[in-house]
């Protein structure tokens, strides 16, 4: 399988701020508690929906938001939970 270009996530400013914030906080909290990646994603999707995100395409949107946060705010997203 080949790709014409590398995946580059949208900038954080492209996402609705309430949904992006909910996803980031939920994912970071879950990862900081040592949960598996799938559990972190599940909690982030639930937070996305609770913040007003739609059902259709929710998991893809959350994955893309996490990619955006990783690119622009990786130190915060992946930092130790004690640093909050």
Rounded alpha-carbon distances, angstroms, from residue 61 to 31, 43, 57: 18, 14, 6
DSSP 83: G
**Per-residue model confidence (pLDDT) at position 52:** 96
**Per-residue model confidence (pLDDT) at position 45:** 98
DSSP 11: P
Going residue by residue through the chain, which has 84 residues, state the pLDDT in tens, using 9 for 90 and above.
566 777 788 889 899 999 999 999 999 999 989 999 999 999 999 999 999 999 999 999 999 999 999 999 988 888 766 555
CA 3 to CA 5: how far, in whole Å? 5
CA 12 to CA 45: how far, in whole Å? 17
**Per-residue model confidence (pLDDT) at position 81:** 61
């Amino acid at each position: 399988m080949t790709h014409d270009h590398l995946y580059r996530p949208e900038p954080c400013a492209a996402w609705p701020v309430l949904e992006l914030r909910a996803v980031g906080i939920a994912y970071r909290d879950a990862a900081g508690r040592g949960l598996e990646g799938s559990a972190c994603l599940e909690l982030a999707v639930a937070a996305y929906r609770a913040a007003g995100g739609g059902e259709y395409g929710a998991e893809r949107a959350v994955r893309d938001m996490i990619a955006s946060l990783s690119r622009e705010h990786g130190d915060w997203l992946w930092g130790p939970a004690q640093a909050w």
